Structure 1
Amino acid sequence: MRQENEEGRNLKKPFLQTGSWYRISGRSSSLFGSTQAIRDSSISVIACVIIVALGPIQFGFTAGYTSPTQSAIITDLGLSVSEFSLFGSLSNVGAMVGAIASGQIAEYVGRKGSLMIASIPNIIGWLFISFAKDSSFLYMGRLLEGFGVGIISYTVPIYIAEISPQNLRGSLVSVNQLSVTIGIMLAYLLGLFVEWRFLAILGIIPCTLLIPGLFFIPESPRWLAKMGMTEEFERSLQVLRGFETDISVEVNEIKASVASANRRNTVRFSELKQRRYWLPLMIGIGLLVLQQLSGINAVLFYSSTIFQNAGINSSDVATFGVGAVQVLATILTLWLADKSGRRLLLIVSSSAMALSLLVVSISFYLKEYISPDSDLYATLSLVSVAGVVVMVIAFSLGLGAMPWIIMSEILPINIKGLAGSFATLANWFFSWLVTLTANLLLDWSSGGTFTIYTAVCVFTAGFVAIWVPETKGKTLEEIQQFFR
Structure 2
Amino acid sequence: MKQENEEGRDLKKPFLHTGSWYKISGRRESSSLFGSTQAIRDSSISVIACVLIVALGPIQFGFTAGYTSPTQSAIITDLGLSVSEFSLFGSLSNVGAMVGAIASGQIAEYVGRKGSLMIASIPNIIGWLFISFAKDSSFLYMGRLLEGFGVGIISYTVPVYIAEISPQNLRGSLVSVNQLSVTIGIMLAYLLGLFVEWRFLAILGIIPCTLLIPGLFFIPESPRWLAKMGMTEEFERSLQVLRGFETDISVEVNEIKASVASANRRNTVRFSELKQRRYWLPLMIGIGLLVLQQLSGINAVLFYSSTIFQNAGISSSDVATFGVGAVQVLATILTLWLADKSGRRLLLIVSSSAMALSLLVVSISFYLKEYISPDSDLYATLGLLSAAGVVVMVIAFSLGLGAMPWIIMSEILPINIKGLAGSFATLANWFFSWLVTLSANLLLDWSSGGTFTIYTAVCVFTAGFVAIWVPETKGKTLEEIQQFFR
Query: TM-score higher than 0.5 here?
Result: yes
Using the TM superposition, give the Cα deviation of residue 193 of structure 1 relative to its aligned residue in structure 2, in angstroms: 1.3
Query: Separation in 2 of the partners of 1:25 and 1:7?
Result: 28
CA shift in 2, pair 1:280/1:8, >3 Å: closer
Using the TM superposition, give the Cα deviation of residue 163 of structure 1 relative to its aligned residue in structure 2, in angstroms: 0.2
CA shift in 2, pair 1:417/1:30, >3 Å: closer
Alignment check: 8 A CA contact 2:37 2:246 kept: no
CA shift in 2, pair 1:195/1:283, >3 Å: same
Query: Separation in 2 of the partners of 1:378 and 1:456?
Result: 28
CA shift in 2, pair 1:25/1:432, >3 Å: farther
Using the TM superposition, give the Cα deviation of residue 69 of structure 1 relative to its aligned residue in structure 2, in angstroms: 1.7
CA shift in 2, pair 1:162/1:309, >3 Å: same
Alignment check: 8 A CA contact 1:130 1:198 kept: yes
CA shift in 2, pair 1:142/1:301, >3 Å: farther
Using the TM superposition, give the Cα deviation of residue 7 of structure 1 relative to its aligned residue in structure 2, in angstroms: 8.6
CA shift in 2, pair 1:62/1:372, >3 Å: same
Using the TM superposition, give the Cα deviation of residue 371 of structure 1 relative to its aligned residue in structure 2, in angstroms: 2.9
Alignment check: 8 A CA contact 1:67 1:304 kept: no
- 1:60 is aligned to 62
Residue by residue over 1:266-323, the C-alpha shift from the partner in whole angstroms, topping out at 9 and shown as x without a partner, is 0000000000000000000000000001111112334323433444321111101101
Query: Separation in 2 of the partners of 1:2 and 1:408?
Result: 36
Query: Separation in 2 of the partners of 1:245 and 1:357?
Result: 49
CA shift in 2, pair 1:338/1:28, >3 Å: closer
Q: Which stretch has the larger CA shift, 310-319 or 406-415? A: 310-319
Query: Separation in 1 of the partners of 2:300 and 2:342?
Result: 29
Using the TM superposition, give the Cα deviation of residue 64 of structure 1 relative to its aligned residue in structure 2, in angstroms: 1.1
Query: Separation in 1 of the partners of 2:320 and 2:3?
Result: 54
Residue by residue over 1:121-158, the C-alpha shift from the partner in whole angstroms, topping out at 9 and shown as x without a partner, is 11111111112222211111111110000000000000
Residue by residue over 1:139-195, the C-alpha shift from the partner in whole angstroms, topping out at 9 and shown as x without a partner, is 111111100000000000000000000000000000000000111111111111112
Q: Which stretch has the larger CA shift, 64-73 or 327-336? A: 64-73
Alignment check: 8 A CA contact 1:303 1:319 kept: yes
Query: Separation in 2 of the partners of 1:35 and 1:220?
Result: 20
- 2:295 is aligned to 293
Using the TM superposition, give the Cα deviation of residue 66 of structure 1 relative to its aligned residue in structure 2, in angstroms: 1.6
Residue by residue over 1:361-397, the C-alpha shift from the partner in whole angstroms, topping out at 9 and shown as x without a partner, is 1112222233333322221111111100000000000
CA shift in 2, pair 1:35/1:360, >3 Å: same
Query: Separation in 2 of the partners of 1:159 and 1:3?
Result: 32
Alignment check: 8 A CA contact 1:288 1:424 kept: yes
Give the TM-score taking structure 1 as reference length: 0.95
CA shift in 2, pair 1:140/1:311, >3 Å: farther
CA shift in 2, pair 1:321/1:232, >3 Å: same
Using the TM superposition, give the Cα deviation of residue 85 of structure 1 relative to its aligned residue in structure 2, in angstroms: 2.1
Query: Separation in 1 of the partners of 2:94 and 2:437?
Result: 8
Residue by residue over 1:65-109, the C-alpha shift from the partner in whole angstroms, topping out at 9 and shown as x without a partner, is 122222222222233333222222111110000000000000000
SS at match of 1:32: coil
CA shift in 2, pair 1:245/1:11, >3 Å: farther
CA shift in 2, pair 1:234/1:30, >3 Å: closer
Using the TM superposition, give the Cα deviation of residue 36 of structure 1 relative to its aligned residue in structure 2, in angstroms: 5.7
Identity across aligned pairs (percent)? 98
Structure 1 residue runs without a partner (length 5+)? none
- 1:247 is aligned to 249
- 1:12 is aligned to 12
CA shift in 2, pair 1:437/1:84, >3 Å: farther
Give the TM-score taking structure 2 as reference length: 0.95
Q: Which stretch has the larger CA shift, 293-302 or 271-280? A: 293-302
Q: Which stretch has the larger CA shift, 278-287 or 23-32? A: 23-32
Aligned residues: 484
Alignment check: 8 A CA contact 1:92 1:428 kept: yes
Superposed structure 1 runs of 4+ greater than 6 Å apart = 1-4, 30-35
Query: Separation in 1 of the partners of 2:232 and 2:94?
Result: 38
Alignment check: 8 A CA contact 2:67 2:190 kept: yes
Residue by residue over 1:394-434, the C-alpha shift from the partner in whole angstroms, topping out at 9 and shown as x without a partner, is 00000000000000000000000000000000000001111
Using the TM superposition, give the Cα deviation of residue 25 of structure 1 relative to its aligned residue in structure 2, in angstroms: 3.2
Alignment check: 8 A CA contact 1:11 1:228 kept: no
Using the TM superposition, give the Cα deviation of residue 62 of structure 1 relative to its aligned residue in structure 2, in angstroms: 1.0
Using the TM superposition, give the Cα deviation of residue 439 of structure 1 relative to its aligned residue in structure 2, in angstroms: 2.6
Using the TM superposition, give the Cα deviation of residue 29 of structure 1 relative to its aligned residue in structure 2, in angstroms: 5.6
SS at match of 2:148: helix
SS at match of 1:29: coil
Structure 2 residue runs without a partner (length 5+)? none
Alignment check: 8 A CA contact 2:347 2:400 kept: yes
Alignment check: 8 A CA contact 2:24 2:245 kept: no
CA shift in 2, pair 1:28/1:403, >3 Å: closer
Q: Which stretch has the larger CA shift, 444-453 or 116-125? A: 444-453
Alignment check: 8 A CA contact 2:9 2:230 kept: no
Q: Which stretch has the larger CA shift, 329-338 or 74-83? A: 74-83
Alignment check: 8 A CA contact 1:102 1:154 kept: yes
Aligned partner (choices 465, 468, 471) of residue 467 of structure 2: 465
Q: Which stretch has the larger CA shift, 109-118 or 62-71? A: 62-71
Using the TM superposition, give the Cα deviation of residue 2 of structure 1 relative to its aligned residue in structure 2, in angstroms: 18
- 2:25 is aligned to 25
